[in-house]
Each structure stands twice: as structure tokens, then as C-alpha cells.
Amino acid sequence: MAGEARDLMNKENVCIRIDGVRKVFNGRNGEMVALNGVDLDIHDNEFICVVGPSGCGKSTLLNIIAGLLEPTEGKVYCNGKEVTGTGTERGVVFQQYALFPWLTVKKNVMFALEMRGVKGKEAETEAMKYLEMVDLAKFADHYPKELSGGMKQRVAIARAYAAEPQVLLMDEPFGALDAQTRTQLQTELLETWQKKKKTCFFITHDVDEAIILAQKVIIMSARPGRIKRIVDINIPYPRTQETKMTPEFIELKNEIWGQVYQEYLEVRK
């Protein structure tokens, strides 16, 4: 009933709707409820960050939205259509980069274009555009093994953009990077997001990262994962690393960190 009302209100700009999603894994130690009753609307061009303790089901939720996992109960809709598998309108950036090691940087990006039906020379020129976007055109003919972690992730982002998805799902993409590279990539990601508007669903365990990037931070509770709170981040863009010194940032950080910390304690019990 409430769902119907929401439908009428936001029909145009709800891009992803998560409706009563529950996920149960059957392990050796019996059933494990990873997610329980998750409802969420993601609007077009929104930047959402999800934070929560490890094991709260953040990644599970992302995989369900991506169509890589099936929910035990509930449904996910993308543009009003039920998600039953992967789809090119939902791109994913993985923490482990997931670049094809046997393809050069350019060919990795071309892979995405070719899957969309762009072929040959056209795919090549298009790929170069996306590599310029992440400032890696010089490395077009290098193999992934020759790049640093940060560069690999930039290629992965370029490849994800090249598929022209409507939503970009990012699973702790900067989690394996050092602090400096991470801040740099945060800034770059924000610039790209502002230039080429896109819906972003970004998972992190770093509260600073969540606040600097997102318009909305979603705090998830410890297992079974539920949405505990949604905090609006009303800091105007463009945000820079100096934003982290402002009182409003610090206040938000205290608030969100406090909530997340409670959940950490919950996990340790």
C-alpha cells in the first residue's frame, strides 16, 4: 500500500527500488541471515554510500542489486522492472579491480564497449576517451600487472563507465589502496560523477570516505543486516579534502561513527 503511494510520487526518478529484501545463506553451521527486511529507493543521479561493520551484508546487498545473487525474499526493481539477473544498466566496480590480466588497459575498456556492440576502430577511439577521463591514456598499451593498485582501479572505473550503466555499484573500490591514493581517487570519482551524472551506490567501511562522497549515507546494522539509519549529507559539492576540516563534516562524522561503532560492539558480542 505504501509502495503504491511511493510509486506514484517518484515514478520518474526512482532508479532502483529494493523491496523487503531478505537473504539467507545455508552454511555448514545452519542458516545465516545476511539481510533482513531491507527497503530502499535509489534515485537517479544520487550518490549513496553504505557503511556498516564487516559482515553486515553490505556486499550481499550490492550483489543482489547487481543481479549476481538472488534474494531469498523480496524483490529489487530497476526502472520499475524486476531484477532477475545482471544487466548492463547496472555496472559494478569490484574491490579486487577484476581487470582481465591478458588484455591491455585499452582492450579492457574495449571489452565493455564491444559487449555493447561498439566494434573495431570506433571502440578503440571510444576507449581512449574513457581512459582520458581517468587520466590513463598514456598507459593504454600496458598490461594490468604493470600498473599500481590505484591505476588499476581507475582502469576498472573507466571500464565500468564505458559500459554506460545507469547505476554504478561500487563494492569497497578503494578498500585495498593506501590512504593517499584513496583520497586522490575519491576526488577524481567526485569530479567524474559531477561531469557525467550517474547514480552511484558505494559501499565502504570508511566513514570519512562515505561523508566526503555521498549525498546520503546509509548505516547498516550488524547481522542480520538492516538499514539502521539514513543520514543526509547536506555539504555542497564540489567537496575537497579541506571539507574534512569543517565543523559540519566533523559533526556528521561523530554522529555516523557513533552509530557504526555501536554496531561494531554488537558484532563483537
Q: Shortest distance, CB of residue 194 to other proteins, whole angstroms?
A: 24
Closest by CA position to 125, among listed 143, 142, 111, 106: 106
The answer for residues whose C-beta is within 8 angstroms of residue 102's C-beta and 6 or more apart is: 143
Q: How many CB atoms lie within 10 A of CB 160?
A: 23
Query: Would you say 16 or 252 has its CB closer to other proteins?
Result: 16
Largest CA distance in the chain: 58
Q: Shortest distance, CB of residue 5 to other proteins, whole angstroms?
A: 32
Sign of the four-CA dihedral 261, 263, 268, 269: positive
**Coil, helix or strand at residue 115:** helix
Binding site for other proteins (CB under 8 A): 66-68, 86-88, 90-92, 94, 96, 98-103, 111-112, 115-116, 143-145, 159, 163
Q: Shortest distance, CB of residue 126 to other proteins, whole angstroms?
A: 14
Query: Would you say 118 or 212 has its CB closer to other proteins?
Result: 118
Query: Would you say 38 or 112 has its CB closer to other proteins?
Result: 112
Q: Shortest distance, CB of residue 35 to other proteins, whole angstroms?
A: 19
Query: Would you say 95 or 215 has its CB closer to other proteins?
Result: 95
Closest by CA position to 43, among listed 3, 18, 9, 14: 14
Q: What is the dihedral of CA 156, 257, 68, 122, to 10 degrees?
A: -20
Query: Would you say 63 or 186 has its CB closer to other proteins?
Result: 63
Q: Shortest distance, CB of residue 179 to other proteins, whole angstroms?
A: 24
DSSP 67: T
